[in-house]
Amino acid sequence: MLKVVNINTYYGKVHALKNVSLHLNRGEIIALIGANGAGKTTILNTLSGVTPPESGTLQFMGQQLTGIAPDRIVKIGISQVPEGRQVFKGLSVEDNLQLGAYLRFRNRESKDVIKQDIGHIYDLFPRLEERRKQMAGTLSGGEQQMLAIGRALMAKPKLLLLDEPSMGLAPLVVQEIFAVIERLRTDEGTTVLLVEQNAKVALKMADRAYVLETGRVILEGAAAELLENKDVQRAYLGKE
């Protein structure tokens, strides 16, 4: 579904991604793990068109992504849930969800269908329905994360890019959110690329994972195998 070959991405002189290659099959949950500054977010930003690569190729469902603007990339089927959630704090829960369907409104998609989709988000996250009129800025961290995911889903993505969804959240809330991600994959075949500093949580949930170090992929494989890998345990799971 997604094939990334030898990409190099820079921020000015900072060489953030060095010959990174990876692939995602439809319906997979893939984790990207690595220390602070390893380049995880940069991979997501490269895929969503925010920081285009200097070289290399990106192919999504047979289409080249290089040089395509972020809004077109959303239209093609890739949505990103940014690190730190970034919901529109001064707007209600429901208005945030509506904004997630902005490009669909612009395409004159039926308002009824969009309304139905908001109903579907409320099925996935019942807490959002209870708070539909509440200002997003007054939601708890976990609820804001649910809203950020719901907003991204309103674009009907085939590939969902999730940046640190567990950050700062209690384990129970993390479980609740990850159960929804699992459900999206099972019910809708959504493919997920998950960036996580919490390597343990990520590897338990993912099918496969890539380990990044200073802009390079240093290890890849089945998540279950990486959980057992001694180097991964030492560096990322806090085990001796």
Interacting stretch for ligand ATP, rule CB under 6 A, among 33-41, 52-60, 107-115, 144-152? 33-41
40 part of the interface to ligand ATP, by CB under 6 A = yes
Measured between alpha carbons, how far is 207 from 224 in angstroms, rounded to an integer? 8
Angle, helices 111-124/93-100, rounded to nearest 10 degrees: 120
Sign, CA torsion 220/225/226/229: negative
105 part of the interface to ligand ATP, by CB under 6 A = no
8 part of the interface to ligand ATP, by CB under 6 A = no
Q: What count of other Cβ atoms lies within 10 Å of the Cβ of residue 84? A: 13
Q: Which of 136, 99, 144, 142 is nearest to 118 (CA)?
A: 99
Q: How far is the CB of 11 from ligand ATP (least distance, A)?
A: 3
66 part of the interface to ligand ATP, by CB under 6 A = no
38 part of the interface to ligand ATP, by CB under 6 A = yes
197 part of the interface to ligand ATP, by CB under 6 A = yes
Tell me the C-alpha to C-alpha distance, in Å, between residue 60 and each of 151, 159, 206.
Answer: 22, 9, 20
Mask: binding to ligand ATP, 153-192, rule CB under 6 A, as x and -? ----------------------------------------
State which amino acid sits at residue 120: H
34 part of the interface to ligand ATP, by CB under 6 A = yes
Residues that bind ligand ATP (CB under 6 A): 11, 14, 16, 34, 36-42, 197
